[in-house]
């Protein structure tokens, strides 16, 4: 009897969860949840050094430089372009696999005409490294390849130059440089990052802790591994290593 009651309650709950979940299927911000059970059972899928992985390498560039309110998030969708997930990026029609000259999404990054360049001024041009990564991804076929990069989240001896600087370069420096130190925060030098780290604001902002402004501003939170790396680097003494 007890069991029967329990299973009825359980079934009602599961039913509600199922209803709630189907309501969220098309929410582009649910990118972290992989609904495909096959993927979660893949144990051995190491990242190859020469392959550009969309979710690991490309999506963070878009979410932190382009997919804001007023620009290319789902609500604003300037020119119909939404850059919050692989499907949205491909549906924009701005990427032609294997062809840079037919990929407007690439062309706007290197346009010398400031009226056409993305991100538009006063935002900085993407870095040469970021532009090269996007080019390589398109030339490799603009696929949504996956590897177990989060499983490789190594928190030992986190390095400022190898781990922290690349995270900030991809996602933060566009809004936190000497010309544009949003919120008085300059993340374009070790000294500036140290100040933000020591005050607790760096971790608070990326962890979306209460009392801090969520960063990237108006964007999607950086991955758990990146947040953990920032925390580990702070715990390990905020070294300029």
Residues forming the site for ligand HEC (CB under 6 A): 64, 68, 171-172, 174-176, 182-183, 185, 187, 196, 201-202, 205-206, 212-213, 215-219, 222
- 142 or 225: CB nearest ligand HEC: 225
Whole-angstrom distance, CA of residue 206 vs CA of residue 186: 15
Whole-angstrom distance, CA of residue 171 vs CA of residue 58: 11
- 59 or 138: CB nearest ligand HEC: 59
Whole-angstrom distance, CA of residue 211 vs CA of residue 95: 39
- 138 or 202: CB nearest ligand HEC: 202
Residue with tokens 């900085």: 124
Give the tokens for residue 2: 């007890």
Q: How far is the CB of 214 from ligand HEC (least distance, A)?
A: 8
Judge whether 42 and 148 are in contact, CB under 8 Å: yes
Judge whether 52 and 136 are in contact, CB under 8 Å: yes
Q: How far is the CB of 85 from ligand HEC (least distance, A)?
A: 18
- 52 or 193: CB nearest ligand HEC: 193
Closest CA relative to residue 137, chosen from 48, 53, 47:
53
Q: How far is the CB of 105 from ligand HEC (least distance, A)?
A: 19
Buried b (16+ CB within 10 A) or exposed e, 69-96: eebbbbeebeeebbbbbbebbeebebbe
- 93 or 183: CB nearest ligand HEC: 183
Q: How far is the CB of 66 from ligand HEC (least distance, A)?
A: 10
Alpha-carbon torsion angle 31, 34, 40, 43, nearest 10 = -30
- 118 or 185: CB nearest ligand HEC: 185
Whole-angstrom distance, CA of residue 69 vs CA of residue 154: 33
Q: How far is the CB of 168 from ligand HEC (least distance, A)?
A: 6
Q: How far is the CB of 123 from ligand HEC (least distance, A)?
A: 8
């Amino acid at each position: 009897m007890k069991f029967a009651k329990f299973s009825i309650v359980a079934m009602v709950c599961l039913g509600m969860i199922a209803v709630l979940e189907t309501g969220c299927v098309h929410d582009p911000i649910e990118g972290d949840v992989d609904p495909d059970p096959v993927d979660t059972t893949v144990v051995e899928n190491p990242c190859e050094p020469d392959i550009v992985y969309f979710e690991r390498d490309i999506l963070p560039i878009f979410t932190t430089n382009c997919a804001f309110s007023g620009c290319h998030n789902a609500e604003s969708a300037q020119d119909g372009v939404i850059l919050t997930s692989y499907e949205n990026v491909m549906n924009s029609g701005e990427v032609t696999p294997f062809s840079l000259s037919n990929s407007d999404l690439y062309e706007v990054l290197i346009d010398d005409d400031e009226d056409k360049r993305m991100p538009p001024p006063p935002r900085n041009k993407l870095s040469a490294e970021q532009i090269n990564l996007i080019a390589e991804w398109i030339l490799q076929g603009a696929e949504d390849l996956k590897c177990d990069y989060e499983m490789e989240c190594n928190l030992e001896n986190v390095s400022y130059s190898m781990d922290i600087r690349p995270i900030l370069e991809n996602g933060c420096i566009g809004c936190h440089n000497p010309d544009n130190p949003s919120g008085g925060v300059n993340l374009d030098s070790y000294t500036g990052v140290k100040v933000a780290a020591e005050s607790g604001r760096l971790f608070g902002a990326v962890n979306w802790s209460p009392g801090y402004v969520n960063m990237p501003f108006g964007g999607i939170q950086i991955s758990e591994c990146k947040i953990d790396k920032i925390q580990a680097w702070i715990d390990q003494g905020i070294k300029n290593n």
